[in-house]
Structure 1
């Protein structure tokens, strides 16, 4: 593979592309806000002026926020004279949007791999991300070395869009887990237990996880600088609950958490880290002014 194209240099996209650059890969980056792509130049990236400039690349990665964004950038990519060999979409989008993108790619002779990623930008930068992929096995095998450069694991889940469901289920669980965490933290705190002491105890038990340990300082200090925003979590819950309706699966806990995410956004935490769910729980418990 001579050159890799990259669409989307936000927090996650920049971290993922940076893994390829640090491994010595040639990466040409396009981003709607050019300055974000230019930030990768010191690490060896080149900047594409237009999406169509990536058409000559063997593989083009896409890391955007929404299904509409995916549709828009692929339409622009495929409007050029040259087309890539394979597109790898790492965004978290609906299965329907992914299927449309796959069909549009196939009609042009372009391979399409859906490969959403688990991990925030800090985890990705440290090499701890996990990717789950779906599509035809040949296309996956072609790009697998790149996926394994970006993350610690790259799991092939099967054909079609099954990786989208895997990722949505992952993010549903993440949201439910965080809501459970902030509820018990708030209960302990209102009962007179220091927040830091409770979390120190919890992190030494069989219920501990590396993710909670890593995020404990943020929760203790109420530091909501975003790794993954409340708005993006709401988008994933919308996708997950839509999948649950399609498959006729009841999701009572996820449905309630969806409303609490909505409450956090309504209270001004749209662009905050989703750990700001604590603020909703603390306010409901009368702890808003406690540090």
Structure 2
């Protein structure tokens, strides 16, 4: 949040100081819902319209203009900004008022993190029970309960491909943001809380800079 705050509100270099009233401020970082709502209020004081527009996807999707934008803000402003977002995105989803995009983004990241942590744990379980990892993945992947994301993560775990695109330390940070949002809103997120402990353990064991699939090093 602090990096975003400096970008927008720094007294010397803050972007809001130099923006015209007709501009639309768009925040696409993964930040807390609380900060996004505060930033939206700050934009109002400057007379600037605001969207929170984080994305689902990473560098390959950005390069192929296949990002999925998850947008919070006024529907009319979303429509105005959509042609700009489409420069890197294949879809623009309006989730609701300011903060909604950030909330959905955190939910998406939590869903991925839980799947990856669970797959790592269960691959370890199957190997401990004498089942070859590649064979285990082949069987599990053939069932309707295995998502494409879980399948891809398991493959990376078995080949020990941990080149970082979404490193463990950032996953743990985002899960902390989910817990913050839950505390503020009164939501219960025990599964996300448990997953955060797993990623925190991986960081403690020196794997924080690895791709999130590196959490499998706790089990394999």
Query: TM-score under structure 1 normalisation?
Result: 0.69
The CA deviation at 1:272 is 0.9
Task: Structure 1: state its 5+ residue gaps.
Answer: 1-66, 283-291
Please give the secondary structure, in 1, of the residue aligned with 2:119. helix
RMSD: 1.9
Runs of 4+ in 1 over 6 A off after TM superposition: none
Which residue is equivalent to 2:142? 204
User: Structure 1 residues 105, 239: CA separation in 2 closer, same or farther (over 3 Å shift)?
Assistant: same
Question: 2:118 pairs with 177, 180, 187, which one?
Answer: 180
Query: How many pairs does the alignment contain?
Result: 216
2:28 to 87, 90, 93: 90
Aligned 8 A contact 2:112 2:149 in 1: no
Corresponding residue number in structure 1 for 2:130: 192
SS of residue in 2 equivalent to 1:152? strand
Change (3 A) 1:81 1:191: closer
Query: Residues 70-109 of structure 1 correspond to what in structure 2 (within 5 A)?
Result: 70-75=4-9, 76-80=14-18, 85-109=23-47
Compute the displacement of 1:149 (Å).
Answer: 3.2
CA distance in 2, matches of 1:126, 1:150: 7
CA spacing shift, 1:203–1:77, aligned 2, 3 Å: same
Note if contact 1:77-1:83 (Cα within 8 Å) is conserved in structure 2. no
Where do residues 177-256 of structure 1 align in structure 2 (5 Å cutoff)?
A: 177-256=115-194
The alpha-carbon distance between structure 1 residues 265 and 135, as it changes in their structure 2 partners (threshold 3 A), is same
| Structure 1: distance between partners of 2:39 and 2:86 | 23
Once the 2 structures are TM-superposed, how far is the Cα of residue 101 of structure 1 from its aligned partner? Answer: 1.5
Measured at CA, do residues 142 and 81 of structure 1 come closer, stay the same or move farther in structure 2, by a change above 3 Å?
Answer: closer
Per the TM alignment, residue 94 of structure 1 is displaced from its structure 2 partner at its CA by 0.9
Under a length normalisation based on structure 2, what TM-score does the superposition of the two structures give? 0.89
Shift of 1:106: 2.0
**Which region of structure 1 is more displaced relative to structure 2, 79-88 or 230-239?**
79-88
Correspondence for 1:260: 198
Is the Cα contact below 8 Å between 2:115 and 2:150 reproduced in 1? Answer: no
Q: Which whole-Å deviations, capped at 9, do the CAs of 1:18-66 have from their partners, x for residues lacking one? A: xxxxxxxxxxxxxxxxxxxxxxxxxxxxxxxxxxxxxxxxxxxxxxxxx
1:120: how far off? 2.3
2:77 equivalent to 1:139: yes
